[in-house]
Chain A
């Protein structure tokens, strides 16, 4: 063996075999990993229509969308005023109420605490909004995080008013 290491035909063959082997193993493993992702039947249930005609002001309902609870709250004028009368810059996750509720009377959001996924309780907490019993996050009447470990406001899903009585989520 000489001191200087020369690249030889054999080195090339080794490297090429390892590389091809790695690609082959990767291609074989990927289906085994990807099978755990949401399947077609789960994805097919991507939208839900909800009848909201019987909901009184100040009341809220919880519906299931993609296995997750969604809060639909018909807010009272006081609650709307409370949500809008906040200096946005000082919030942990600054968002204007106008951006969260297209129609101020209707607040539609995922009922999943952004901390670790519990369902917050309505009309509770220090900001008259929602309170998560698991680890003590307080949300205001716009579903914004005000106090506690949750990093973000309650998420607003994609939704639209099909007509004045029906909301389509997803």
Chain B
């Protein structure tokens, strides 16, 4: 941290800062030295903070009109849509905001995968991030249940039934989760309670995430350790603040497109039918952001092993800093990893697509191959590749290669060929 010696200029500021050093904190945030080569993939941290705040504000407002009771929930959501002033806007922002939140978090995670941001000394940032991601999935799942439509009800049924795969305790655990013998009134009220709680836990973890980030400082596209502050860094304010705001503006265009022009395209029309425990919709699919995991679940023919594989696919990410043995962070200097990275991206997209298709025939075969590759990538390829791969020489700092002729990383590589 750079500002331990900060002294406020005003007398009042000094008096306050001696008692609670908030001004020191704000000075640190302003002057926090940031690598000057951060690209737009680094703006998603700020975008995600915006998403979280938006979800909390719109959520608290929706909570003023929503009724968490199985008999009234569905009608109260329609009441919000038709009667409450701007209710339609607030609900569409909240519902599409969840999708935007996940879109941003996937970009954020895949950026970390490409540039090796999870590697030492940033493992704790990564693990906190993964916990945030898990809580996000739980929050989104429970939020999707609240409108008490058909997809809400049957999504809740399928997901909570995952726990029935646990040997011996499965039935007890599902009954405990439901507060009954099926998804019913008690399930809805507790999901509402937890859906309200979890975002605040996420907010707390986000603060820890940023705190942990500010200890070693940002990773950067070439993935080298920087001297901070130095000629390789710029202060967070105004340089990064302006860049983040500009990226947020572009992101908001996409956000607004969904909210105003196709607010229901990411949802499922069956959720406009009130929940009916007697009839299952013909084709149950989770929200798009859970589809890759859903595909992994369905691609294993055994119930318990399917559930294990699904949870393992997330847990594997938590231990990624120890699975990837390469000392070089950025994929720019790892020619083989760079290609495998894009294959992994493709693999996850394929899994997502298969999760939306019926689990039969060719779809099932492709889903199985993609599931197998997902695990092979993390458990076999990464540990071996890190030891075998011939990496390209890494520049000693950000500035010298640029002054040496080019700011283009491609040129940096070419230059190294002469050596």
CA distance A116 to B170 in the complex (A): 12
- Whether B284 lies near A134 (C-beta < 8 A) is yes
Tell me whether A36 and B177 are in contact in the complex, defined as CB-CB below 8 angstroms, given that A68-B182, A116-B157, A135-B298 are known contacts. Answer: yes
Residues of A within 8 A of B306 (CB): 149
- Whether B184 lies near A67 (C-beta < 8 A) is yes
Tell me whether A149 and B301 are in contact in the complex, defined as CB-CB below 8 angstroms, given that A64-B277, A67-B182 are known contacts. Answer: yes
In this complex, the interface size class of chain A, counting residues with CB under 8 Å from chain B, is 20 to 34
- Whether A62 lies near B303 (C-beta < 8 A) is no
Mask of A133-170 contacts with B, CB within 8 angstroms, 1/0: 11110000000000001110000000000000000000
- Whether B186 lies near A66 (C-beta < 8 A) is no
Mask of B157-171 contacts with A, CB within 8 angstroms, 1/0: 110111010000000
- Whether A118 lies near B180 (C-beta < 8 A) is no
Tell me whether A117 and B277 are in contact in the complex, defined as CB-CB below 8 angstroms, given that A37-B179, A67-B184, A149-B298 are known contacts. Answer: no
CA distance A112 to B171 in the complex (A): 14
Query: Is A31 located at the chain interface by the 8 A CB criterion?
Result: no
Tell which of A33, A132, A135, A136 has the most Cβ of chain B within 10 Å: A135
Tell me whether A62 and B181 are in contact in the complex, defined as CB-CB below 8 angstroms, given that A37-B176, A117-B161 are known contacts. Answer: no
How far does the Cβ of A168 sit from chain B's closest Cβ, in whole Å? Answer: 17
Which A-chain residue is minimally distant from B190 (CB atoms)? A36
Mask of A90-113 contacts with B, CB within 8 angstroms, 1/0: 000000000000000000000110
Report B's interface with A, CB cutoff 8 A.
154, 157-158, 160-162, 164, 175-184, 186, 190, 277-284, 298, 301-303, 306, 358-360
A-B contact pairs, 21 of them (CB 8 A): A33-B176, A38-B175, A38-B181, A39-B179, A39-B186, A42-B180, A42-B181, A66-B181, A66-B182, A67-B183, A118-B157, A118-B280, A119-B277, A119-B278, A120-B280, A132-B280, A133-B281, A133-B282, A134-B284, A136-B360, A151-B302
Which 6 pairs from chain A and chain B are nearest by CB?
A67-B182, A117-B161, A66-B181, A118-B280, A116-B161, A119-B280
- Known interface pairs A38-B175, A119-B278, A120-B280; 16 further A-B residue pairs with C-beta atoms within 8 A, sorted by A's residue number: A42-B180, A42-B184, A67-B180, A68-B181, A68-B182, A115-B161, A117-B157, A117-B160, A117-B182, A118-B154, A133-B280, A133-B283, A134-B158, A135-B359, A136-B358, A149-B303
